[in-house]
Chains A and B, each alone.
Chain A
Amino acid sequence: MVWNYVLSIKSVILSMFNRLKSYFSSYADITPEDAVFMKNFFEQKSFNSKTILTKEGEPEEYIYFIVKGVVKVYFMHNDREIITYINKEGEVVSAGASFFSRKPSRYFLETLEPVIVICISHANFFRFMNSGPKWQRMCRLLMTEFVLKKERWLLDDLEYSPRERFLRFFNERPDLLLRVPQKQLAAYLNIKPETFSRLKHLIRQTPQARK
């Protein structure tokens, strides 16, 4: 009994270590000791599908690193959902501006599937960042990714027509076509649902239209 318990604890720690490592190894060389240290700041959480993680109007308390599942970021406007991001495992999600400024969030975060995350709270984030040069560097690099992602969105929004947005999405994130309801994808790509269906049909019929 006790042995089984120890084993299961060990496997939880191990899997959390592997997840932390795979997330952050692009930013810094994470030793097993580092991972143990990081566990003081990061927590693992699970959510059912359609759970609201963050509400518009309330401050964002967490940065989430998605281990499994899909999370959408959106706001409501004239009774319509405007989706700003759809994120899946391996990606980071947060109402970042609210997290860092402590102002109310402009966005909702909601799970579209059962989701497992590793997350860090606001208080822990700053404790973590101030606990050594290595972690300061890691937080700066993480922030770099936030900025790059935002800038990418701003450029892409100007650059691409609805058709181009669809094709890019189709080529870069094909798995999400099966996982996310079509209506939501159309809202994310800012394409009319009819246009979305038409483009999807077109690609099925003529694979050469993919380019």
Chain B
Amino acid sequence: MTVRQNYKRADEFRKAIESLRKLFPITEQQLLQIEQFISVRTFEQGHILIREGQVEDHLNLVVTGLLRKFLIRKDREFTLQLATEGHLCQSEISYLRRQPSEVVIEALEPTTVLSLSFEEMQRGLESNIGFDYMGFHLLVSIYILKDERHYKQLKFTAREKFLDFMANHPHMLQRVPQKYLASYLNIKPETFSRLKHLIRTRKTKD
């Protein structure tokens, strides 16, 4: 049975596949072929998809919900990614190198993902249906987003990071607890509150 037949919320699945299509050109034929390698996984809010020290076994594309990827160091949590619909989220180094994960991934909302397990990826790579090509494009899209974060991390001040984030992802303020947003932008929660307040008052003045 294919994922598509198995999966009741077909429209959401369709949406996820479409977001995959944004990452690289893929034919209907290819889609049908890769479906046999993909599984659908659903998690409750608060579920930990991968812990520190485990080996990552899945590449995940978020269909609905929200995943947070973070690092725990010196008793502090550093948020690396907040992944919503259409985004890929996994412990890449662990998945690709088969080594214990340094990062943790948790579901901040009830979340459904499409996953490609490491074993299925190996099977796909042996199957001669263009897995290398698709993998290449998937990696390019991951790389471009990471490069953007690398660049902004070095270039922007706390204030600029905040304004940039709010301009590009205004809806996240409603979805994500403030402490995680502050952690994602690597700014103090107090600074975050102050900046948020600042935009509010500026808007009222306008």
Q: Which residues of B contact A150 (CB under 8 A)?
A: 143, 146-147, 150
Q: Nearest residue in A to B80 (C-beta to C-beta)?
A: A154
- The answer to whether B132 touches A137, judged by C-beta atoms less than 8 angstroms apart, is yes
- The answer to whether B150 touches A154, judged by C-beta atoms less than 8 angstroms apart, is yes
Q: Nearest residue in A to B102 (C-beta to C-beta)?
A: A155
The CA-CA distance from A186 to B142 in the complex, in Å, is: 29
User: Number of residues in B with C-beta < 8 Å to the partner?
Assistant: 32
The one of A101, A147, A190 in contact with B139, judged by C-beta atoms closer than 8 angstroms, is: A147
Is B167's beta carbon under 8 Å from chain A?
no
- Binary interface encoding of chain A residues 101-144 relative to chain B, with 1 for a CB under 8 A from any of its CBs, else 0: 10000100000000000000000000001000100110110011
- The answer to whether A75 touches B155, judged by C-beta atoms less than 8 angstroms apart, is yes
- The answer to whether B146 touches A82, judged by C-beta atoms less than 8 angstroms apart, is no
- The answer to whether B150 touches A153, judged by C-beta atoms less than 8 angstroms apart, is yes
Q: Which residues of B contact A155 (CB under 8 A)?
A: 71, 80, 93, 102-103
The one of A77, A140, A158 in contact with B135, judged by C-beta atoms closer than 8 angstroms, is: A140
- The answer to whether B93 touches A148, judged by C-beta atoms less than 8 angstroms apart, is yes
Q: Which residues of B contact A154 (CB under 8 A)?
A: 80, 146, 149-150, 153
Is A159's beta carbon under 8 Å from chain B?
yes
Q: Which residues of A contact B135 (CB under 8 A)?
A: 140, 143
Is A97's beta carbon under 8 Å from chain B?
yes
The one of A100, A137, A148 in contact with B144, judged by C-beta atoms closer than 8 angstroms, is: A100
The CA-CA distance from A75 to B146 in the complex, in Å, is: 16
- The answer to whether A148 touches B97, judged by C-beta atoms less than 8 angstroms apart, is yes
Q: Which residues of A contact B103 (CB under 8 A)?
A: 155
Q: Which residues of B contact A96 (CB under 8 A)?
A: 143, 147
Q: Nearest residue in B to A150 (C-beta to C-beta)?
A: B146
Can you name 16 extra interface pairs (CB under 8 A) apart from A75-B155, A144-B96, A154-B80? A84-B151, A96-B143, A97-B143, A101-B144, A129-B136, A136-B133, A137-B125, A140-B133, A140-B135, A143-B135, A147-B139, A151-B146, A154-B146, A154-B149, A158-B80, A159-B78
